Amino acid sequence: MIAQVTEALRYRELVRNLVARDLKVRYRNSVLGFLWCLLNPLLMTAVLTFVYTVLMKVTNIPNYPVFLLIGMLAWNFHATATMGAITSIVGNSGLVMKVYFPREVLPVSAVLSNAVNFVLALIALFAMLFVFRIHLSLTLLLLPVILFVQIVFASGFALFLAALTVFYRDVEIIMETILLAWFFLSPIIYPMNLVFPAYTRLMYIINPMASIIEAYRNVLYSGGMPGLDFLGRTFVESLILLVAAYIFFHRCAKRFGEEL
């Protein structure tokens, strides 16, 4: 496994080119270009804020648009990275069949391109923080750490699903439904203790995205320290997932040619 990882690292220039290609393709022939990564979450935040605070009046969370936008950005990174990675092998079948390179760079590059998109979207978030006069503390320095944990989690998830999709094309359709349910079971539009008061800790344990979103909110919304117990546990879980998914991916990669 160490030899495989070392070989993959030698192809980091290919990963860089694939990430650049994904970003160019995403905004190609678009008038606003990368500005959509700022406008899309802002528009969704505006709609959901109107629905939950004006129409339904179900929340009185202070600075709710900021609270919501943080959750939306973290979730969009996870969802788009997942869906992009699912078809990364199948969608590049011609490249996989003709050229040798470590196949894992395809799903990993899908995750990294969405990580870049997430970082660009933070411009909109910091603008919102300025508008709502939310003061940031030194805990903001932990933001790259939280992002790294999410990248590790997303990469493990991506490797597993990308390999599985080569053999079962229904995975893409199934994951669309799972992600929709996952969205509403994560603390994106509500705080976890509001919906699951008796099971908050359990929900953080079984849902890694809950811990990640809460960690983002701690450093960007409340200015406090993230729950290091939950974040540390999430990192360990993500690392275990990444290693297991990497082994699974390499075992499946031997049969990619037959299936494609």
Residue-by-residue pLDDT tens, the chain, 260 positions: 666 666 666 767 777 888 887 777 776 665 555 666 677 778 888 888 888 777 766 667 888 889 999 999 999 999 999 998 998 888 887 777 777 777 888 899 999 999 988 998 888 888 888 888 888 888 888 999 999 999 999 999 999 999 999 998 889 899 999 999 999 889 898 888 777 777 777 888 888 999 999 999 999 988 778 777 778 888 999 999 999 999 999 888 888 877 76
Q: Give how many domains the chain has, as a whole number.
A: 1
- Residue ranges making up the domain that contains 115: 2-259
Q: 63 — alpha (psi -120 to 50), left (phi > 0) or beta?
A: left
Cα–Cα distance list, 229 to 38, 78, 156, 212, 215 (Å) = 32, 21, 21, 12, 11
Cα–Cα distance list, 25 to 12, 20, 79, 82 (Å) = 20, 9, 18, 17
Token pair in block for residue 222: 């409340």
Contact 113, 19 (CB under 8 A): yes
Please give the single-letter amino acid code of residue 145.
V
100 three-state secondary structure: coil
